[in-house]
Amino acid sequence: MHMHRYEKWWLTLGTGSLIIFLIILGISAFHQGHQPPSAKAYINPEQVDAIAPFDEPGLKKVEGKEWDYELVLVASTFLYNPGEVEVPKGATLKIIATTKDVIHGFEVAGTNINMMLEPGYISEYTTTLDKTGEFLVVCNEYCGVGHHTMKSMIKVVD
Amino acid sequence: MANPELNRKTQTKVEDSSSLKGTLTSVLLLGGFLVLSWIGVFLLFINRF
């Protein structure tokens, strides 16, 4: 089949970029462990307050794990518990979160942290906080009349 | 006097209809735009935590 020379060029470019993107996706998923924020763990949403670790929400320093701090967070209409935490700069933080009632969002504005909190499921996200500042946590899943007042704050300090 | 045009020779450029130069240019422009915006978003993703 006759094919114009230029046509071969752009077909090569298109196919090449497809291959490159698939390779990047593969490296990101299998080598760097980038995955949806589901811990593959289930919880009875009606008894969140009684089930560990959600019976004691807050920031905890941990030893012997790949991360330095765990932020256990419970969302409910229309607040996050805890409402504010302070983490030292450079620390690796694992966020472990769930919701007691409806679907809530957990977005840390200006960062890559963005996940859904679904009743009955535990969402997790691990990251290293390498910049100081005050990072606002907002709900980005419409959850009811008080949706826009739902917030928390992660303060990264020196 | 009549039909004075008959004596004029008009030259019309006939472009090779199989030329794909314009197509190549627009394909590369679009491709460049996609690559640049992808790199921009990727850098944003890398630089944030």
**Tens digits of per-residue pLDDT, A68-113?**
999 999 999 999 999 999 999 999 999 999 999 999 999 999 999 9
- Mean pLDDT over A13-22 rounds to 93
Tell me the helices (H) and strands (E) count for chain A, helix number first. 1, 11
- Poorest-pLDDT segment among A57-71, A114-128, B14-28: B14-28
* pLDDT higher than 70, residue B3: no
Q: What's phi and psi for B46, nearest 5 deg?
A: -70, -40
Per CB-CB distance under 8 Å, the chain A contacts of B45 are 112
Report angle CA A14, A15, A19 to the nearest 5 degrees: 120
> What pLDDT was estimated at residue B19?
85
Cβ contact A128–B49 (<8 Å): yes
> Does B42 have pLDDT greater than 60?
yes
Q: Which residues of A touch B20 (CB under 8 A)?
A: 4, 6-7
Q: How many alpha carbons lie under 13 Å from residue A4 in its C-beta half-sphere?
A: 10
Quote the distance between the C-alpha of residue A79 and its chain's center: 17
d(Cα A81, Cα A45) in Å, to the nearest integer? Answer: 15
Whether residue B24 and residue A113 make contact (CB cut-off 8 A), yes or no, is no
Which residues does chain A have within 8 Å of residue B35's beta carbon, measured at their own beta carbons? 17
Rounded average pLDDT over A8-24:
93
Residue B10 has what pLDDT? 72
Amino acid (one-letter) located at A111 = T
Q: Cα–Cα distance between A135 and A151 in angstroms, integer?
A: 10
Mean predicted confidence (pLDDT) in B7-20: 72
**Burial of residue A67, with CB atoms counted within 10 A of its CB: 0-12 exposed, 13-18 middle, 19 or more buried:** middle
SS (H, E, C) B28-44: HHHHHHHHHHHHHHHHH
CA-based nearest residue to A83, from A119, A140, A134, A19: A134
Q: Chain A to chain B, count of Cβ pairs less than 8 Å apart?
A: 29
